[in-house]
Chain A
Amino acid sequence: MTAARVSLPVGLVVLALVAAAMGSSFMPLDRVTAALFGQGSRADTVILWNIRLPRVTMALLAGAGLGIAGMLLQRATRNPLASPGVLGIVDGAAVGVLLFLLLFSNEANVLTVSIVWQPVAAILGAVVFALVVASLAARDDTRPMTLILYGISLAALANAIVVLLIIAGPVYRASQGLIWLAGSVQSAEWREVWMLATALLVALPALVALIRPLDQLHLDDLSAQATGLAVRRTRVATLTLSVLLTAAMVSIVGGIGFVGLIAPHAARLLFGTGAAWQLTGAALIGAGMVLMADLLVRVLFQPLEVPAGAVTALIGAPYFLFLLLRHGRAHA
């Protein structure tokens, strides 16, 4: 585990440098570092600071946020299959954003209100769908499969609403909406990067405060409560934070799926089950996944711009099936 704790951050830095070097024109590493520290040519500096760095930073931050959101969700529900995507939170946020775009943009495809309201719309959508899933699951017993089935049903419903909104909306929005939905970081701007960073910074104190309660949630509810944990309060706080983080990430980068499912799993294997380490691991692995996915689509599909979410889904969906086969049998 120590090896992973050291090599993963190092690997991430290398990956980020490679991602900064790759693009429609290749920039050798010495020129990347030169431009990074203000020593490069004017063209290099513009390309790096205005196009590539926002894109790389956005991929890193969004991946980290989704990884953390997934880890919180899995720990709070004690369900290894739970993730923001599977439980309909991502699609719920998408409904919120599309409704926002539909209601607040004019014929010229320009927003009539500030873009900072987009995350708010995403949060509203995510919260509504999360509440429906939670209240459905609470009525029933707490078998892992029940929760997942409710989540998948609600995600399908949200998806149908999204498709209707795109088709029913003006034509110019269709292609734009589809690309955003599939999740991409290609049109990253610093303003959006700052929004992501702010969301993560706001979440940080709550995360730190939740570390020890999350460790206590390793125990079953009765034991956790008997050792002094306010179980219900902890669970509500954890789920709320997860939904807010997911919505904030999704509202800006779109539905990059399966990062919230895979990152916490890999983190548990590579970093251990201690909440502090698993959160750190999930953030690093999530960041790496989105950056890698974005890098792959840039290299493989050039000059086409394929959304990074397509790659994470391509890897993530089979992995989810694998988990479903393994855990589904144990709990069914």
Chain B
Amino acid sequence: MPEPLITIDAGIMGYRDMTVFNGLTLSIPKGEVTALCGPNGCGKSTVLKAMRGIQPLSAGEVILDAMPLGQWSAKGLARTVAMLGQTPTAPEEMRVRDLVALGRYAHRKPFAGLDIGDHTAIDTALRATTMVALAETPLANLSGGQAQRAWLAMVLAQQSPVIFLDEPTNHLDISHALSTLSLVRQMARNGGKTVVIVLHDLNMAATVADRIVLFKSGQVAAEGPVKEVLTSQNIETVFDIPCAVMTRPDSNLPLVVPLLGRIGKSEGNTNLSAQKADALE
């Protein structure tokens, strides 16, 4: 494993009277795409927020680039780690370019307009996300896939070497999901960025990630290179479902196939408990 960029050491965190993880230790290597996967409510989003200092640990510490997270300034942290949450919001009438410009906050000098560096970063981000043509469009007029690209452009404009993404393919159809992930892949490959991405879909994770961390109830159940982690045994342990792992015909990547019969009447209940778990995340 390459040199770790971020580590959580004996982290304890929870909401009110519920502990999400207790004594978690985790390292994120530099320059790779790490996918955090696991069932709903396993704490993967919470880990991401903890590593970005959005939610403080109640014990233990996060070390970023050899310095404890608490010693980073708000802007210094933003220049190093950008993050896109699950449900980002901005005013509907805001134009894409103005949204992307908000990504420059941590770089700007007080009382000055956007300078050349800011404009270059904004234009580069718009080009990388193919949003140049839509730069003057209000957010309200964008489709789901376009809106997601606009937010990714804001994150890119932040020009941070590390990017956290919390389920960026939620609510996207499969083709938009894949183009979003290929953009993420590009950021890591060509941009040399370290990416940590929370994903539901194991096959998507296998497509985009170098490494996968599988969580189960606030613990790391398995971590390592994609092929080592995505084994039928690991997945059965973590998700409690029978499954087979095949090798994709187009590449050498694993393909996870759940082996379920047709889903019966209990489907409604499963959905309900899944929603509850989502709310907890």
Contacts and interface: CB of A to CB of B under 8 A. Distances in A.
Interface of A: 208-209, 212, 215-216, 218-220, 222-223, 225-230, 273
A223 B77 contact: no
Nearest to A211: B111
Given A212-B110, A227-B106, A218 B90 contact: yes
A209 B110 CA distance: 8
B71 interface: no
Contacts of B54: 222, 225-226
Contacts of A219: 88-90, 102
B78 A220 contact: no
Contacts of A220: 85, 87-90
10 contacts: A212-B108, A218-B94, A218-B102, A226-B81, A226-B82, A226-B83, A227-B102, A228-B78, A228-B106, A230-B74
Interface in B77-105: 77-79, 81-85, 87-91, 93-94, 102-103, 105
B91 A218 contact: yes
A227 B158 contact: yes
B75 interface: yes
Contact of B74 (A208, A218, A225): A225
Contacts of A222: 49, 54, 83, 85, 88
B105 A227 contact: yes
Given A218-B102, A273-B93, A273-B94, A228 B87 contact: no
A228 B102 contact: no
Given A219-B89, A226-B78, A228-B105, 19 more contacts: A212-B110, A215-B102, A216-B102, A216-B105, A218-B90, A218-B94, A218-B102, A223-B154, A226-B85, A226-B164, A227-B78, A227-B82, A227-B105, A227-B158, A228-B106, A229-B105, A230-B74, A273-B91, A273-B94
B44 interface: no
B150 to A, nearest CB: 12
Nearest to A273: B91
B211 interface: no
Nearest to B93: A273
Nearest to A216: B105
B52 interface: yes
Interface residues of B, number: 31
Interface of B: 49, 52, 54, 74-75, 77-79, 81-85, 87-91, 93-94, 102-103, 105-106, 108, 110-111, 154-155, 158, 164
A175 to B, nearest CB: 46
Nearest to B158: A227
A81 to B, nearest CB: 16
Contacts of B77: 228
A215 B94 CA distance: 11
A142 to B, nearest CB: 13
A227 B88 CA distance: 12
* Residue of A208, A222, A227 most packed against chain B (CB within 10 A): A227
Nearest to A227: B105
Contacts of A230: 74
Nearest to B78: A228
A271 to B, nearest CB: 12
A223 B139 CA distance: 16
A215 B108 CA distance: 13
Contacts of B102: 215-216, 218-219, 227
Contacts of B81: 226
Nearest to A234: B74
A51 B75 CA distance: 52
B203 to A, nearest CB: 27
B220 to A, nearest CB: 24
Contacts of A208: 111
* Residue of B105, B110, B154, B158 most packed against chain A (CB within 10 A): B105
A134 to B, nearest CB: 20
B195 to A, nearest CB: 14
